[in-house]
Structure 1
């Protein structure tokens, strides 16, 4: 461990007195991270892999020397397939050691592109074509029959594709290659390409939600990932004594950067807890035993995982190694944070990040004051601030203390833009500040608080859903004239998609029929709305634009009214009001009328229901 301690903004400014270039000296690429790690800690375990994610099974391990050798072989394999610095290697894989080989070997050879294997076949094909994929790494019919069933039909639909490598496939189908067999034919001592890296070289493409049906492609440079990994390690003081559990998918920047490159840069160990990670119920049930066995010091998870872990008995497991947990993919209810910390003694550090910022941009300080509900302080070398913009999205001024504005960011971790030029319009403010699309305020001590979103993403369990995917699908229904999708609050998933539709004149269709239709035509299962409301009209602004905040207010009111109804049956009267708030973005006001003897009991019932949500609310009581 180093003597790094961050308590306040002043400590971050002290760290920034050392130029980042000095901290990254000798590192021009992510490949250099593994080269240096193999030199510094050759016999240290870099990666543990549990094939089933079970606490008692034998782990497959790789030292830093072995991991670097496999990454070098993988880069040489791609080079042999004529992958150059501007060519794309895509992977559709669960969390496997070979996923890490592909990820970092792909960046050493060209540009790596992670794709969610849970997507449907047509959407996968569209994404592969979007990036002009040259080599695809995935599972074959024996190792991953369900995935292969989706991938095999699309291979002829991607003209740029030159080779398909199958992991765990001893006898690959005709026209494909065995990843594992081909890997062993490659030398591990040096890159055959002789490539000379620059931090400005592109290294990765990540798909991220946007305002159109096709996800935008965020470009990462080697320098972006190096900076973010370095700053992340500084923030929480990672070192060779740490072990990080990776349960989030390796097609998402959190798994790649936070429980990936950040750990490897610090010489820490990473436990790859099964191919499915947190989606494997067995992993959650054995989580505390895994902590004890591998002496886990930290992990990153979304609120749904923390909520599930609360229900898992800890028994006699020794949790003394666990220093803290990280949460940043979705807002976490303050009550859940408090309950988790009280029950386990484990601190949760809430943070904030976005793919466009490589991964992490802010976090509550590990050694300083943690303010539940806030996203903490900006990471070193990262600038974050809320600003006021005009109706055209042009910068006007910085916000005052506790004034809500658009959150903007700049720093070495901020990406150079999207692959699609049209997606970069109005992306940058006042020169080189990234418009994150989130609304936020900054308090007097520099802590940042999210208050809403300009961009319309629905965040379900940390997974971004583009509402346009839902809206465009619904509007293909012959009876639908207009559709709008928003997120409704959910105590488990954070948000769930719901849709509001206006029917064409003379048309009739039930909400149930529309829900069934949406499930059939929306390519992403998680995006299919569980509720659809047929309405006469959609709310609009004064200039005729769709006003989605009003729909989010309505969806929130409906959810809370439904959940509160059973426990407020004895109240004289009650109602849920939802609207805007100058400090918190959205406010819920629960008005409760009840006779005095019953009132306290009903108030406690309301508090219990509201504890599951990261919503600001006020309770008004009267006789």
Structure 2
């Protein structure tokens, strides 16, 4: 790092105290007390860059980030202080300015979770617009995202290991005409003498950084709260990904509100194990910590996907004296299988979760193990990472995602027959679709047509989340509107089934979906992954659930045992794949019934496959009679499935 003049010696950014929690929030009345002070009096910073600057002035040589090079907490690590973080972010912003980026230009990030990711987020948003990319998306989706944003610069990892970052980046460079520059981050421990020669337009990060000052923005830019800070993609697992535009002011508000409600303190030490391409790791966990002066620990480039990190989880808490931890439910389920042993976890005071529904049994298991409750947060890309949260000073049953944020408006309205929100508010305690208006609601998608579908006519954000307010005004979440199981017009909340089946001691995860049915439209079925070493039959689980689900129509009609739940890249259970599996199972049963009625031997029956992308595909053996094929076609046509196709194999039994 070059010698640095104290940032306060310059007239930009202005110096303000770092964010600090002003009261312990326990009830909705505490939220209303916070709202008595206008936002402009408590939110002085205009941008993420100012937040980092305030912490640089206040905390200086205090560790901001510790990056673990291995999953062993006593092993080697790299530490950036708050002075380092701000200086490097400033340097990188100047790098991008020197490469020709202005405030409306885009720099994309294709990195594992590493220290340099902070440059690609906060340095890029100080120079222009940051665009984090999920490295596990298919290359055609990555290309579409780059072409949609018109990204000029790509910051990427200089190694092909794991997600094939380097080779992928070189291929993307050829397919995204807007990319003018690629910046290579050297993998940790790389021998400088062995680094590769780079083609024109491709640069080594450290070489570019060394040429830039670290104490001021050379561009002279004064970032405004309404300026676009980043494009975060959403909907990347199905269909075309959409780019959500976040403003600097929206991100600052998320930080301020999170700090107030969660009582985040500068003395805290946190584990940030969430991917940095996702708002959970960046805006719910990362930036609020920096804004307060928290010491954040990043557990290797693989985060919680590193088996060594999971094995050493409790030792990491002991070694760094971690106070705040968390993760998606699948991560928490994994670490609760690890014995605490002789690890001292007495420093721990807070565990947060989000992104997916928290099973009650997992919540109880965590509390038995640690003595602490899990605090749930609801967030989405379109609300800059946080919508509601459960304060440290409060608790609730699993599924309670806490209070709305201060200065946020929330409505819960009824749903029409097409699953769209009406203008009719539900009664207290009645479930409906959640709507928001708030300072951190995004500035719309990059594509205006997508934006039109995201808001009601009078400007409320349609979250797609289903829930109700309890007597304490906490939001009790029941799931996504698209995940409702509708049986003959009767709405079935999948969480009711998941909680019922998930209460069985042998069950690790339970996910309920609707299976297609010719008469009822959908029937409830549950997919189950068992805890390691446990055994139980589907019939026993159905009987167990029937005792805990009051309404007979909501009781599961089938339980399927699977080895592992399909997951998204951020640890959510991926229900579209489960719905496809359920549809395939129903279709196979129908084909078997038709075949038996026709006297067709098992070896001569068609093979059935159903996928999210292709729908239902039936391969008829070449020797099958026309009458048999027509009987199969007629029986399957009764199912409420949009995509059905029957094809003939050239040879019997060939797919």
- Over 3 Å counting, the alpha-carbon distance change for 1:421 and 1:335 in structure 2 is same
- Over 3 Å counting, the alpha-carbon distance change for 1:228 and 1:388 in structure 2 is same
- Over 3 Å counting, the alpha-carbon distance change for 1:375 and 1:286 in structure 2 is same
Give the aligned partner of residue 537 of structure 2. 566
- Over 3 Å counting, the alpha-carbon distance change for 1:147 and 1:208 in structure 2 is same
Give the aligned partner of residue 526 of structure 2. 556
Give the aligned partner of residue 101 of structure 1. 119
- Over 3 Å counting, the alpha-carbon distance change for 1:61 and 1:494 in structure 2 is farther
Instruction: Summarize the alignment of residues 105-116 of structure 1 with structure 2, pairs less than 5 Å apart.
Output: 105-116=123-134
Instruction: Summarize the alignment of residues 21-100 of structure 1 with structure 2, pairs less than 5 Å apart.
Output: 21-25=40-44, 27-100=45-118
Aligned: 1:403 with 2:430: yes
Take 1:581 and 1:75, find their aligned partners in 2: how far apart are those partners?
58
Give the aligned partner of residue 367 of structure 2. 341
Take 1:539 and 1:216, find their aligned partners in 2: how far apart are those partners?
36
Take 2:152 and 2:236, find their aligned partners in 1: how far apart are those partners?
25
Take 2:344 and 2:237, find their aligned partners in 1: how far apart are those partners?
47
Contact 1:47 1:63 in 2 (8 A): yes
Take 1:211 and 1:91, find their aligned partners in 2: how far apart are those partners?
18
Aligned: 1:120 with 2:138: yes
Give the aligned partner of residue 296 of structure 1. 322
- Over 3 Å counting, the alpha-carbon distance change for 1:210 and 1:403 in structure 2 is farther
Deviations 1:19-42 (A, max 9, x none): 2211111x1111001111111111
Instruction: Summarize the alignment of residues 128-527 of structure 1 with structure 2, pairs less than 5 Å apart.
Output: 128-141=146-159, 146-168=164-186, 170-175=195-200, 176-209=202-235, 213-391=239-417, 393=420, 395-429=422-456, 431-455=458-482, 492=508, 495=511
**Aligned-residue offset at 1:56:** 1.4
Take 2:90 and 2:100, find their aligned partners in 1: how far apart are those partners?
15
* Alignment match of 1:588 (pick from 555, 558, 564): 555
Gaps of 5+ in 2: 1-19, 188-194, 486-493, 559-572, 574-655
**Aligned-residue offset at 1:495:** 5.0
Contact 1:89 1:110 in 2 (8 A): yes
Gaps of 5+ in 1: 459-485, 501-534, 541-546, 592-612, 614-623
**Aligned-residue offset at 1:212:** 6.4
Take 2:225 and 2:127, find their aligned partners in 1: how far apart are those partners?
14
Aligned: 1:4 with 2:14: no
**Aligned-residue offset at 1:385:** 2.5
**Aligned-residue offset at 1:269:** 1.0
Deviations 1:206-261 (A, max 9, x none): 11117961111111000110000111111121121011111111010010012210
Contact 2:510 2:529 in 1 (8 A): no
Secondary structure at 1:326's aligned position in 2?
Answer: strand
Q: TM-score, normalised by structure 2?
A: 0.72
Take 1:186 and 1:98, find their aligned partners in 2: how far apart are those partners?
16
Contact 1:7 1:367 in 2 (8 A): yes
**Aligned-residue offset at 1:422:** 1.1
Contact 2:326 2:332 in 1 (8 A): no
- Over 3 Å counting, the alpha-carbon distance change for 1:37 and 1:576 in structure 2 is closer
Give the aligned partner of residue 608 of structure 2. none
Give the aligned partner of residue 595 of structure 1. none
- Over 3 Å counting, the alpha-carbon distance change for 1:258 and 1:329 in structure 2 is same
Contact 1:579 1:587 in 2 (8 A): no
Contact 1:324 1:346 in 2 (8 A): yes
Take 1:2 and 1:359, find their aligned partners in 2: how far apart are those partners?
19
Of 115-124 and 100-109, more deviation after overlay is shown by 115-124
- Over 3 Å counting, the alpha-carbon distance change for 1:236 and 1:408 in structure 2 is same
Contact 1:575 1:590 in 2 (8 A): no
Of 170-179 and 60-69, more deviation after overlay is shown by 170-179
Take 1:359 and 1:222, find their aligned partners in 2: how far apart are those partners?
13
Take 1:327 and 1:217, find their aligned partners in 2: how far apart are those partners?
24
Take 1:13 and 1:270, find their aligned partners in 2: how far apart are those partners?
30
**Aligned-residue offset at 1:53:** 3.2
Contact 2:511 2:526 in 1 (8 A): no
- Over 3 Å counting, the alpha-carbon distance change for 1:11 and 1:349 in structure 2 is same
**Aligned-residue offset at 1:383:** 2.2
- Over 3 Å counting, the alpha-carbon distance change for 1:457 and 1:227 in structure 2 is farther
Take 1:274 and 1:315, find their aligned partners in 2: how far apart are those partners?
23
Contact 2:375 2:395 in 1 (8 A): no
Q: TM-score, normalised by structure 1?
A: 0.76
Contact 1:408 1:434 in 2 (8 A): yes
Take 1:22 and 1:251, find their aligned partners in 2: how far apart are those partners?
31
- Over 3 Å counting, the alpha-carbon distance change for 1:382 and 1:326 in structure 2 is same
**Aligned-residue offset at 1:65:** 0.9
- Equivalences, count: 513
Contact 2:389 2:403 in 1 (8 A): yes
Secondary structure at 2:369's aligned position in 1?
Answer: helix
Take 1:590 and 1:19, find their aligned partners in 2: how far apart are those partners?
53
Give the aligned partner of residue 640 of structure 2. none
Secondary structure at 1:429's aligned position in 2?
Answer: coil
Of 106-115 and 177-186, more deviation after overlay is shown by 177-186
- Over 3 Å counting, the alpha-carbon distance change for 1:150 and 1:457 in structure 2 is farther
Deviations 1:402-440 (A, max 9, x none): 112111011111112111111122322252211101111
Contact 1:55 1:293 in 2 (8 A): yes
- Over 3 Å counting, the alpha-carbon distance change for 1:172 and 1:450 in structure 2 is farther
Give the aligned partner of residue 518 of structure 1. none
**Aligned-residue offset at 1:58:** 2.5
- Over 3 Å counting, the alpha-carbon distance change for 1:48 and 1:211 in structure 2 is closer
Contact 2:159 2:166 in 1 (8 A): yes
Give the aligned partner of residue 527 of structure 1. none
Take 1:589 and 1:574, find their aligned partners in 2: how far apart are those partners?
9
